[in-house]
Structure 1
Amino acid sequence: MTETLNPYQAPQGDLDAGVFAEGEVALFKASTRIGRLRYLSRACTFGIFSYLALGITAGIAAAVGGVIAAVFWLLFAAIVIGVFAVSIIFGIQRLHDLNQSGWLILLNFIPIANLVMMIFLIFVPGTQGVNKWGHKPPANTTKHWVGALLPFIGIFVIGILAAISIPAYQDYIERSQSQETIDWSE
């Protein structure tokens, strides 16, 4: 059998070789990669839930006394440590997407460097394709967009409500104080 070489024939080999594959994204695994939007979404969503948990725990601890308050303050400390650890993991995952070492997350503890690091993590695009820490993360879904934008929409709505309710409350206070000065005995 003779094989003829046709220069116009499509190649027979597997040309993909995994370059366009997408890696897994684990929530609490520091060895994976996450993109900018997923990082922002996780940070915002996790921040909201952790602040709620911290506020409820601190409120209960302040309202009760004795041993029960001490237990809630210990729970508060455990939540703070957990929030700290998860925030570090999210930062390491984002640094891995940028093809950087996770040890750079320690720059968050240096005062001006943490601002630069925050801007770097949020605005610099990740490595396209495969890098030292695996394949690129999967494409973002609607839940990631909602998770990233919801806190900003919430702040906007709270601002509007405050702009409406503060003057209305001030007017209510002024009217109630003027009613107190009227002498009804006459």
Structure 2
Amino acid sequence: MNVDTDPGATYMPTILAFRGRLGRLRLLVYTVLPMFAVFILLALLVFLRGRAPVATVAMARLLPLLWLVLVIVTTLRRLDDMNYARWWGLLMLVPPVNVLVWFYLLFVAGSETANERGPAPAPNTVMVKLGVVLVVPLLLGSVWPAYMLYSFYPFMR
């Protein structure tokens, strides 16, 4: 995508777009909130498994794949923001490396002005900031109990 606009131009990113740059907070919100939505839907499918077993199994396999596609697309868009080649996104398919790549994409800033992949994303909206306010407690709420169980495990014997 070649950019013939001025360096100060911006655009408003959306979650379902395949092109365009994506900032750090949007990466966090666009990947983590759908992940928790998939978890909730999978938990609901457990309760419905007796009523429609074929549909339940199909949905249980389809939902995580849809989330994986969303993660890969948002990763590619974040790489566009950092002006890196999109093929680096293949690292998201390597299990031990994908966590490191995601944290790198989350904490390293992208280009502040327009680059060869498009104009800079617009400043974060109130909804994105509210999404971050939701994501941080969800992540801490899911990680903290596991850490506490791990740290107190020797004393539980």
TM-score normalised to structure 2 length: 0.78
Determine whether 1:58 maps to 2:42.
no
Distance across 1 between alignment mates of 2:68 and 2:55: 20
Hey, what does 1:79 align to over in structure 2? 63
Determine whether 1:114 maps to 2:92.
no
| Of 43, 49, 53, the match for 2:31 | 43
Q: Let me know the Cα RMSD of the aligned residues.
A: 2.3
Q: Which has the larger radius of gyration?
A: 1
Distance across 2 between alignment mates of 1:124 and 1:157: 25
| Of 130, 137, 153, the match for 1:146 | 130
Bigger CA drift: 149-158 or 32-41?
149-158
| Kept after mapping to 2: 8 A contact 1:45/1:148 | no
What stretches of structure 2 of length at least 5 have no aligned partner?
A: 146-157
Structure ranking higher on relative contact order (CA contacts 8 Å, 6+ apart)? 2
Distance across 1 between alignment mates of 2:56 and 2:96: 34
Percent identity, please.
21
1:112 alignment partner, SS class: helix
Q: Size of the alignment, in residue pairs?
A: 141
Hey, what does 1:34 align to over in structure 2? 22
- TM-aligned CA deviation for residue 154 of structure 1: 4.3
Hey, what does 1:23 align to over in structure 2? 11
**CA, structure 1 residues 157+83, in 2 after alignment: closer, same or farther (shift >3 Å)?**
closer
TM-score normalised to structure 1 length: 0.67
Determine whether 1:134 maps to 2:118.
yes
For residues 12-71 of structure 1, give each alpha carbon's deviation from its aligned partner in whole angstroms, at most 9, with x where no partner exists. Answer: xxxxx621110241322222111001111112221221211122123311xx06xx2122
| Kept after mapping to 1: 8 A contact 2:72/2:92 | no
| Kept after mapping to 1: 8 A contact 2:82/2:110 | yes
- TM-aligned CA deviation for residue 78 of structure 1: 1.6
| Kept after mapping to 1: 8 A contact 2:31/2:70 | no
Hey, what does 2:85 align to over in structure 1? 101
Distance across 2 between alignment mates of 1:155 and 1:104: 26
Distance across 1 between alignment mates of 2:33 and 2:83: 25
Letter in 2 for 1:115: V
Question: Hey, which bits of structure 1, 4+ residues long, moved more than 3 A?
Answer: 154-160
| Kept after mapping to 2: 8 A contact 1:108/1:117 | yes
Distance across 1 between alignment mates of 2:7 and 2:90: 31
**CA, structure 1 residues 59+148, in 2 after alignment: closer, same or farther (shift >3 Å)?**
same
1:28 alignment partner, SS class: coil
What stretches of structure 1 of length at least 5 have no aligned partner?
A: 1-16, 161-186
